[in-house]
Structure 1
Amino acid sequence: MLIIALKITRADHAKHLRTCQVSSNPFTQEFVWVSDFANGGAWVVSSQPEDPCGVVQLSRIEKDRSDTSGILWRYIARKAATNPSGTVLPGMICSAIDQGDYDWMKTRSDHMQCEFVEFSPI
């Protein structure tokens, strides 16, 4: 019986290692118009530092310069930790927070080596 339980536990653990979790986090942002941004103006998020990391949202909505019609806009999201030496959770330092840019116009490919995908509400 112990051998069967051990095999089940190992199989479950092996599946867990090959499972990627996908989640979403709804949020709201308030933007203000900055007329002298990037030769034409942009909507820039109005943000105050949050949490122990002092995270500041740096997102913006700007005209798409590649669009000759002038009707398309780009959303670019970015955040910065103003207190990178702080900790947000035990064992997680603020400098580990993802501070990269997200631009919906840029293609992105991440090889995750998943065999299973698990969707999570958080």
Structure 2
Amino acid sequence: MSELKEKIEKAVAQLRTEKPMSQEECNNLSKLGAAFSGASTDLPEEGKIKISKMPVEQRQDMVKVFTALLNHCRSPSAATMTEVVRITHEQETRTCRVSANPFTQTFKRVAGSNNWTSNDGPNGPCGTVVISRLQKDDPKYSLWSYVTRKTITNPNGELPLIGSCSQLDQTEYVYDWRSEDKFTKCDYVKFGLF
């Protein structure tokens, strides 16, 4: 809940410095909201087709977003901005993110074991040290687990787009060959980092 509160406070603070949206921008929001609710609009045919292919629930979410944005456009206030942030945050909480990050690591075998280790760093403004290991779980088969953890040696550093190094995840992660189902309540799946 504190994340939502912070987003609202930041958005309301920006109201003091941002200029209000123009009448043209309000009209465009109105057209988009109408299109998502199924009303006939003068959107390009490509846009109409894309909207028509969306699941009903997604279109309903978009109607909520554009209605809140239009209300804020017509009457900018802390209350209408709060509603925009609340609706978009609620949608974000129902979104699961999937991303891939290609990388290379060099491992050295631990003498007398089925483990291989990698220790890389410190690197970058955060002084990130990545400690990983590959362990062969069953000597008869090629079944391996990968365990990795990042350690931040400079928590006072800053990363572009991310912010303070102290906020970076330092949890140990185990990527195991054993299948494990994950229950998630995702209405949306977003690919990529942002």
Give the structure 2 partner of residue 118 of structure 1: 190
- Is the CA contact (8 Å cut-off) linking 2:152 and 2:165 kept in structure 1? yes
Question: Letter of the aligned partner of 2:29 in structure 1?
Answer: A
Deviation for aligned residue 1:90: 6.4
TM-score (norm 2): 0.47
TM-score (norm 1): 0.69
Q: State the distance in 2 between where 1:98 and 1:69 align.
A: 35
For CA contacts below 8 A with separation 6 or more, give which structure has more relative contact order.
Answer: 1
Deviation for aligned residue 1:42: 2.0
Deviations 1:49-75 (A, max 9, x none): 1110011110101232xx474753321
Q: Any stretches of 5+ residues in structure 2 without a counterpart? A: 1-22, 34-61, 67-83
The aligned runs of 1:93-112 (5 Å cut-off) are 93-105=164-176, 109=182, 111=184
Deviation for aligned residue 1:93: 1.2
Question: Letter of the aligned partner of 1:57 in structure 2?
Answer: V
Q: Rg bigger for which structure?
A: 2
1:32 matched to 2:105: no
Question: Letter of the aligned partner of 1:52 in structure 2?
Answer: P
SS in 1 for 2:166: helix
More strand by share: 1
Deviation for aligned residue 1:77: 1.3
Deviations 1:70-109 (A, max 9, x none): 7533211111111122222367111211111111238585
SS in 1 for 2:98: strand
Give the structure 1 partner of residue 29 of structure 2: 5
More helix by share: 2
Pair 1:91–1:48, CA change in 2 (3 A): closer
SS in 1 for 2:134: strand
- Is the CA contact (8 Å cut-off) linking 2:119 and 2:129 kept in structure 1? no
- Is the CA contact (8 Å cut-off) linking 1:21 and 1:119 kept in structure 2? yes
- Is the CA contact (8 Å cut-off) linking 1:32 and 1:46 kept in structure 2? no
Give the structure 2 partner of residue 74 of structure 1: 145
Q: State the distance in 2 between where 1:92 and 1:76 align.
A: 26
Q: Any stretches of 5+ residues in structure 1 without a counterpart? A: none
- Is the CA contact (8 Å cut-off) linking 2:97 and 2:189 kept in structure 1? yes
User: In the comparison of the two structures, how many residue pairs are matched?
Assistant: 116
Q: State the distance in 2 between where 1:50 and 1:110 align.
A: 35
